[in-house]
C-alpha cells in the first residue's frame, strides 16, 4: 500500500488510536494478504541486515572498492569508546554506526537502502544505536521502521528520493525525515509530532546538493549521512519538547520537490559541480579513473 500524504497516515493512526507504525503494519498486512506477524518478520530481517552492516562497516582495514574511503566507521567507533568526544559517547556512537553502514555500502557490502544506498547509514545509525545501547527492545525498533518506511513512501511519491532528480536533500534529507519520525514515535510522540519531526528535518536539509566526487557515493556522501542522523535526533527532541514544525510535513515535502526541480543539473549527481568540481575533487577522480582523453 502506498500513501499519498503524511496527513493521510496521521489521520489513519489518530482515527484508530494507534501509533503510525501500528496503523502501517495493519494496512500493509491487509494489502499484501499476509498476517501482521509475517509482515513484521520481513521488517525484522531488514533490521538484522542493518545490524550486520554496522558490524562489517566497523571492521579494521576496511577499504572501499575505489580505495577513497573505508576506515571512517572504525575510526569513529574507536573515538566513541574513548572519551566520548564533544558530543558524548552515545552520539559519537551513533555517528560511528552511521559511517559504518555507509562504508559497508562503499565496499560492496549488503545494506538496506533506506531509502537509497547513498543515504543508507542514517536510519540504521538511529535504530541500531538505540538497540545496541539497550534503550529500546528489538520489537520497538522494528516497529519504528514501519513509521520510517511510510514517510519514505510519501516522499518518493510526492517528490523524489533520487539525488539525480532532487539533490542530496532528496536522499539524506528523506532518510533523515524517515529517521526523525521513527525517533519521535519511540520517544512517545504522537502521530502529529512524528509528522512535525519529518518536516523539521526537511527544512534543515532543504537545498542540499548532490555532488559525489568521481561520481561515487563516498565523498562527501558518507559524511553527509552523519549530518542527516544528527538532524534526525535534533528534530525528534524538538518536537518531543513541544516545539511545532509550523510548516506541515506534506508542504515541506512538496517544497523539497520544487527546490530539486529548480536545482541546476550540475548539482544533481552529475559530478559537474560542487565539491566534485573542486581541484581536489578532480584529482581524486583522476586517481580512480585516470585522466580524460
Number of separate domains in the chain:
1
Q: What is the percentage of the chain residues whose pLDDT exceeds 70?
A: 99
Classify residue 274: in a domain, yes or no: yes
Classify residue 61: in a domain, yes or no: yes
Q: Over the stretch 205-224, which tens digit does the pLDDT of each residue have? A: 999 999 999 999 999 999 99
Label residue 3 by pLDDT band (50, 70, 90). confident
The mean per-residue pLDDT over the stretch 116-130 comes to 98
What's the pLDDT score for residue 292?
75
Q: Over the stretch 30-49, which tens digit does the pLDDT of each residue have? A: 999 999 999 999 999 999 99
Classify residue 1: in a domain, yes or no: no
Domain that holds residue 256: 6-289
Q: Over the stretch 235-275, which tens digit does the pLDDT of each residue have? A: 999 999 999 999 999 999 999 999 999 999 999 999 999 99
Classify residue 103: in a domain, yes or no: yes
Res. 293: pLDDT tops 70: no
Res. 226: pLDDT tops 80: yes
Q: What is the 3-state secondary structure (H, E, C) of the chain?
A: CCCCCHHHHHHHHHHHCCCHHHHHHHHHHHHHCCCHHHHHHHHHHHHHHHHHHHHHHCCCCCCCCCCCCCCHHHHHHHHHHCCCCCCCHHHHHHHHHHHHHHHHHHCCCCCCCCCCHHHCCHHHHHHHHHHHCCCCCHHHHHHHHHHHHHHHHHHHHHCCCCHHHHCHHHCHHHHHHHHHHHHHHHCCCCHHHHHHHHHHHHHHHCCCCECCHHHCCCCCHHHHHHHHHHHHHHHHHHHHCCCCCCCCHHHHHHHHHHHHHHCCHHHECCCCCHHHHCHHHHHHHHHHHCCCC
> What rounded mean pLDDT belongs to the chain?
97
Q: Over the stretch 156-171, which tens digit does the pLDDT of each residue have? A: 999 999 999 999 999 9
Classify residue 175: in a domain, yes or no: yes
pTM over the 0.75 mark: yes
Res. 183: pLDDT tops 80: yes
Classify residue 119: in a domain, yes or no: yes
Classify residue 207: in a domain, yes or no: yes
What's the pLDDT score for residue 23?
97
What's the pLDDT score for residue 22?
98
Res. 76: pLDDT tops 90: yes
Classify residue 271: in a domain, yes or no: yes
What's the pLDDT score for residue 2?
77
Amino acid at each position: 500500500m502506498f500513501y499519498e500524504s503524511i496527513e493521510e497516515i496521521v489521520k489513519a493512526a489518530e482515527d484508530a488510536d494507534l501509533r503510525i507504525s501500528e496503523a502501517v503494519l495493519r494496512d500493509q498486512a491487509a494489502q499484501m494478504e499476509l498476517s501482521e506477524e509475517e509482515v513484521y518478520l520481513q521488517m525484522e530481517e531488514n533490521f538484522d541486515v542493518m545490524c550486520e552492516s554496522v558490524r562489517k562497516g566497523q571492521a579494521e582495514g576496511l577499504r572501499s572498492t575505489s580505495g577513497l574511503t573505508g576506515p571512517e566507521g572504525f575510526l569513529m567507533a574507536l573515538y566513541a569508546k574513548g572519551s566520548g568526544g564533544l558530543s558524548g559517547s552515545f552520539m559519537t556512537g551513533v555517528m560511528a554506526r552511521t559511517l559504518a553502514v555507509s562504508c559497508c555500502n562503499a565496499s560492496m557490502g549488503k545494506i538496506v537502502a533506506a531509502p537509497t544506498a547513498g543515504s543508507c547509514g542514517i536510519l540504521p545509525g538511529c535504530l541500531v544505536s538505540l538497540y545496541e545501547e539497550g534503550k529500546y527492545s528489538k520489537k520497538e525498533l522494528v516497529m519504528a521502521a514501519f513509521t520510517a518506511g511510510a514517510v519514505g513512501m510519501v516522499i518518493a511519491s510526492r517528490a523524489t528520493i533520487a539525488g539525480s532528480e532532487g539533490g542530496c536533500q532528496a536522499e539524506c534529507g528523506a532518510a533523515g525525515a524517515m529517521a526523525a519520525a521513527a525517533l519521535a514515535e519511540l520517544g512517545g510522540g504522537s502521530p502529529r509530532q512524528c509528522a512535525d519531526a519529518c518536516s523539521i528535518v526537511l527544512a534543515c536539509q532543504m537545498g542540499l546538493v548532490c555532488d559525489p566526487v568521481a561520481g561515487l557515493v563516498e565523498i562527501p556522501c558518507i559524511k553527509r549521512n552523519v549530518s542527516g542522523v544528527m538532524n534526525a535526533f535534533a528534530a525528534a527532541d524538538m518536537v518531543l519538547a513541544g516545539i511545532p514544525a509550523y510548516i506541515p510535513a506534506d508542504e515541506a515535502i512538496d517544497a523539497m520537490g520544487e527546490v530539486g526541480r529548480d536545482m541546476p543539473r550540475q548539482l544533481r549527481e552529475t559530478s559537474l559541480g560542487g565539491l566534485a568540481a573542486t581541484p581536489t575533487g578532480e584529482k581524486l577522480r583522476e586517481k580512480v579513473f585516470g585522466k580524460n582523453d
